[in-house]
Amino acid sequence: MNRIVIDPGHGGKDPGAVGNGLREKDISLEISRRLAEILSGYQVEVTLTRNSDVYLGLAQRCALANNLGARYFCSIHVNAGGGTGFESYIYSGAKGETEVLRNVLHSKVAAYFQNAGFKDRGKKKADFYVLKKTKMPAVLLENLFIDHGIDSLQLKSASFLGGLAEAIARGLAAALGLKPKAGPAGKASPIHSSHKGVETAAAHKIPNNYAGLKHYVSLRPLETDSFMPFQRHTQ
């Protein structure tokens, strides 16, 4: 069965971008966990590089995906720097299948943002480490800008993040040809049925130099009413 590795950006001592009372590491984890929950309803194995607020180096993230022989690697991030909207990245030297898969995924996610009034900033290429060092097709998604007032309001919305996770799942399903799991009577199972089939790194044998495995835990139930972002305290 195909395996997708979902990579929530940053974590632990690395908060990622910070702005408007939010930390990128929290939002990327929230989106990733919701995405893993949705994908558990498809015929695919799902692994999170982290499922809690821990620090993992970029090499560790790539080693996990490579050692698992993953079919696809999807890194979830939030942007910063004064812009607004959504953009996706693949490795600058990538071509062929990586481009084709990204194009399908990007179209689904961009449509979600555009329907909400946000800009599609385009399909881009870069030499990001996790895109260069993974041995399978890989994509990095930059979902809105944490330092933009309007963008950040949506990043604080549980319903918006849930919808975003669904859009990413639709894109992955379309790109990779994923099919819903069959229910008891041969019917497709509800996509949000359970956490069954969602795994973390702790379920696999990883080289001894892969630090932080003791921090992995199984998925907790998702909060559907509100997303509780980190609030900065000012002196």
Among 97, 142, 199, 223, the active-site one is 142
| DSSP SS3 for 9 | coil
For this structure, is 166 an active site residue?
no
CB contact at 8 A, 32 and 47 = no
What CA–CA distance (Å, rounded) separates 181 from 207? 32
Q: Which residues contact 102 (CB under 8 A, 6 or more apart)?
A: 88, 90, 123, 137, 139, 175
Tell me the chain's radius of gyration from C-alpha atoms: 17
Largest CA distance in the chain: 60
Which residue numbers are catalytic?
142
